[in-house]
Copies of this chain bind each other. A is one copy, B any other.
Amino acid sequence: VTAGYALGDIVAALAADRGNELGARLIGDAALRISRVGPLDTADPATLSFLANPRYRSRLEHTAAGGVIVQHELAEEAARGRSVISCDDPYRCFARLTQWWARQTRPAPPGGIHPSAVVDPLADVDATASIGPLAVVEAGARIGAGCVIGPHCCIGRDASIGEDSRLAAHVVVGSDCHIGARALLHSGVVIGADGFGFAPAAGAWEKIEQLGAVRIGDDVEIGANACVDRGALDDTVIEDGVKLDNLVQIAHNVRIGAHTAMAGSSGVAGSSVIGSHCMIGGAAVILGHLQIADGTTISAASVVMRSIRQPGTYSGIFPIDDNAAWEKNAATLRQLHSLRDRLRALERWQVGLLEKNTP
């Protein structure tokens, strides 16, 4: 795909990034051609790889990688027989390498508005933004400097997208919703559909129009086909740095605290407030009107039914088993309360027996 880059140029780029705050420096062959970033186990001599965790240092012995990113402490050991990028935090350094690599290898989006896009004359599109083919930008919408709006996106009336945000193909941002700077919204994301709100009305449901919007902070990433509903009266809020994976469901009036990450297919029901720096596992479910403390971790596929006040790791998953064993245990589980009562009865009888036999 690419003829590759000289390792010296790569290290120079990493060192030039944010004042070389990770302390990257080269030990080895600056002229080495790197054609691929890859994991240690499938590396070849033109691969630049990384060792994030020193526990796995033995992998260095068996890799064919021509270059490896390691922490300073391991640099000397790792540099035997290959080139090394020594730094403070190899995993973050690797992350920045992928960012640099993507910038080199991915074509820049064309500037300007594609002629097939339908942009309302009353929309405010920055001259440096890119509006993809067949996108729709409605009246009053604002698209910030450096934004890339993909094909078939639809930016609703009076919505706004902060600078340098990227929307992949097929993203919908509803009217009045606000996306911060440097967002990355993947295909199929729907921001600002109606929250699920109805008043019971003589056996039917009366629609509660959802009059709030969605406010999303800076540096937020949202995965494919995920949904963030607009609020009923106030806004649904996603704070800075939040990362939501594919198919995540955020109901109306939820607040997700800064830098919280939620893995694929997880969801939060209406009006719950999730703290900052939480990690919510895939397919986990958080019921409505709850509060989750900052720094809480919820295991994958667990269901949160009450507020969590104390940070920690919480789980609730039925252990998988071969089907026959599961069937027996599951059937018994439905009698668990009576088993407890029978155990108590035995204990009481035991106590009585002990008392009787005590002179």
Looking at the assembled complex, report how far the CB atom of A198 sits from the nearest CB atom of chain B, in whole angstroms: 6
Contacts of A245 in B (CB 8 A): 196, 251
CA separation between A99 and B208, bound complex, in Å? 7
- Whole-angstrom distance between the alpha carbons of A61 and B98 in the complex? 57
CB distance from A275 to the nearest CB of B (A): 13
A246 touches B229 (CB 8 A): yes
Given contacts A227-B246, A333-B333, contact A207 B95 (CB under 8 A): yes
List of B residues within 8 angstroms of A265 by Cβ: 249, 265, 267, 285
Contact with A227, one of B38, B95, B247 (Cβ below 8 angstroms): B247
- A232–B340 Cα distance when bound, in Å, is 48
Q: Which residues of B contact A343 (CB under 8 A)?
A: 339, 342-343, 346
Question: A91, A193, A347 — which one has the most chain B CB atoms within 10 A of its CB?
Answer: A193
Pairwise interchain contact A333-B319, C-beta atoms closer than 8 A: yes
A: contact size bracket: 35 or more
CB neighbours of A92 from chain B (8 A): 199-201, 206
The answer to whether B339 and A319 have CB atoms under 8 Å apart is no
Query: Which residues of B sit under 8 angstroms from A325, Cβ to Cβ?
Result: 334, 337
A102 touches B (CB below 8 Å)? yes
Contact (Cβ within 8 A) B116 A118: yes
**A103 nearest CB neighbor, chain B only:** B209
Q: With A and B bound together, what is the CA distance between A225 and B172 in angstroms?
A: 11
Q: A316-B318, A336-B336 known; 20 other A-B pairs, CB under 8 Å?
A: A37-B211, A91-B200, A92-B201, A136-B151, A154-B187, A168-B172, A168-B174, A193-B246, A196-B261, A245-B251, A265-B265, A283-B303, A299-B326, A303-B320, A312-B323, A316-B319, A316-B321, A318-B330, A333-B333, A335-B340
Cross-chain pairs A/B with CB under 8 angstroms, 12 sampled: A95-B198, A116-B118, A118-B133, A150-B154, A151-B154, A170-B170, A190-B225, A203-B277, A204-B219, A204-B241, A302-B320, A314-B323
